[in-house]
């Protein structure tokens, strides 16, 4: 297999994440180092269907390591979910003599890669790029650290006004099915509570915590809510709290897509660079239908089917910390 790989393509799919450009750069330059021809596919799997593919050389990825977003653009392709779309995408790859594809993205991206590999026996390599950090088999995903830093910066600012007015703020952060951003933002900003989709009991715990705070006449606080929380988003949680406590003056702030942009942190640049490099090395060493992740600071290759199906565990100890520390 290793002998066969001479021409590879790289794409980004799903939600963009700061650090994707660093990963693209590492894929292109590691490929060039091994005398491979490297191609960039624009607009994710949709671009694979439409044949939006161009050769990328060393200079084409200069001055992008520090940029947010993705220079290859990204998309969530509905057409790629159908067999006809995937067949068309396969034809693009054959027409361009591509031997393997590096797909940078999250769960949806890897699901597409896994199906594509099984239908056409085509070598695929996943690189975990999503701010949500919800991929099993890697300690961190590209973009997570930057998103958390952005969210913490926003919460710090909200803290100033919350403190001045003695208000209880519910700050909604991203994470459709995942509470990682909420957990790290909550801990890093000294929040009084964290609500995440993975935990069903956390609203009760929050109400208990607010009761204790109210008894101490501490009416100022920050509660971080993941957008995908089982019990509803920040507005709904704020309503539940307002009904139970009249003492608190509540406010809601939804940070939204701010968390997806900006220059990647040092951590994300290093992570993305190691993963992009590891992806190409992995393909050349015969790994395919896997994701290149990082575990305990080592590059690892994890079957895509595990990365997609298995749930990344949540450390429940982290969730209990706000009630001890705030
Ligand atoms: O997957 C990353 C993510 O930012 C989620 O946290 C969020 O739910 C989703 O993407 C939003 O997607 P879109 O930008 O397509 O609305």
> Distance between CA atoms of 61 and 140, rounded to whole angstroms?
24
Instruction: Evaluate if residue 158 carries a pLDDT over 70.
Output: yes
Domains of the chain: 7-143+264-309 (3.40.50.450), 144-260 (3.40.50.460)
Query: Does the pLDDT value for residue 149 go beyond 70?
Result: yes
- Of 16, 101, 18, the closest CA to residue 280 belongs to 101
Mean pLDDT score of the chain: 96
Q: Is 201's pLDDT higher than 80? A: no
Query: What is the whole-number distance in angstroms between the Cα of residue 286 and the centre of ligand 1?
Result: 33
In whole angstroms, give the CA distance from residue 237 to residue 203.
8
pTM higher than the cut 0.85: yes
Kindly report the protein residue whose alpha carbon is nearest to atom 15 of ligand 1.
Answer: 15
**Distance from the CA of 239 to the center of ligand 1, in angstroms?**
24
What atom of ligand 1 comes closest to residue 228's alpha carbon? 8
Q: What angle do CA 59, 39, 17 make, to 5 degrees?
A: 80
Q: What is the pLDDT of residue 229?
A: 75
Probe residue for ligand 1, chosen from 77, 108, 174, 257 as the CB with the greatest number of ligand atoms within 8 Å: 174
Burial (CB count <10 Å: 0-12, 13-18, 19+), residue 298 = exposed
Q: Kindly report, residue by residue over 52-90, the tens digit of the pLDDT.
A: 999 999 999 999 999 999 999 999 999 999 999 999 999
Strand pairing class (37-41; 53-56): antiparallel
Burial-class residue 207 by CB neighbours within 10 Å (0-12, 13-18, 19+). Answer: middle
What is the percent of the chain with per-residue pLDDT over 70, rounded to a whole number?
A: 99
Closest CA to 156 of 106, 222, 208: 222
pLDDT for the residue 231: 74
pLDDT at 227 over 80: yes
* 202 vs 196, residue with greater confidence: 196
The mean-pLDDT minimum among 58-72, 167-181, 194-208 falls in 194-208
């Amino acid at each position: 297999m290793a002998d066969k790989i001479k021409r590879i393509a790289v794409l980004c799919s799903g939600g963009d994440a700061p650090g994707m450009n660093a990963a693209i750069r590492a894929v292109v330059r590691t490929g060039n180092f091994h005398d491979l021809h490297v191609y960039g596919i624009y607009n994710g799997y949709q671009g694979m269907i439409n044949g939006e593919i161009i050769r990328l050389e060393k200079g084409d990825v200069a001055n992008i390591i520090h940029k947010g977003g993705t220079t290859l653009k990204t998309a969530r392709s509905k057409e790629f979910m159908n067999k006809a779309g995937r067949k068309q995408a396969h034809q693009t790859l054959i027409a361009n003599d591509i031997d393997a594809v590096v797909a940078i993205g999250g769960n949806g991206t890897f699901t597409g890669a896994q199906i594509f590999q099984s239908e056409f026996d085509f070598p695929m390599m996943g690189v975990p790029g999503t701010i949500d950090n919800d991929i099993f088999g890697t300690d961190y995903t590209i973009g997570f650290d930057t998103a958390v830093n952005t969210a913490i910066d926003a919460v710090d600012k909200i803290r100033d006004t919350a403190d001045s007015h003695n208000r209880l703020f519910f700050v909604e952060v991203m994470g459709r099915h995942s509470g990682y951003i909420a957990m790290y933002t909550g801990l890093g900003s000294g929040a009084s509570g964290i609500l995440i989709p993975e935990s069903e009991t956390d609203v009760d715990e929050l109400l208990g915590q607010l009761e204790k705070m109210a008894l101490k006449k501490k009416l100022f606080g920050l509660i971080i809510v993941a957008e995908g929380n089982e019990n509803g988003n920040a507005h709904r949680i704020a309503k539940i709290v307002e009904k139970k406590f009249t003492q608190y003056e509540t406010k809601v702030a939804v940070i939204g897509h701010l968390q997806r942009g900006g220059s990647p942190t040092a951590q994300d640049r290093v992570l993305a660079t190691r993963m992009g490099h590891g992806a190409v090395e992995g393909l050349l060493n015969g790994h395919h239908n896997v994701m290149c992740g990082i575990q305990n600071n080592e590059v690892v290759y994890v079957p895509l089917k595990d990365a997609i199906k298995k749930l990344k565990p949540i450390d429940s100890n982290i969730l209990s910390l706000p009630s001890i520390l705030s």
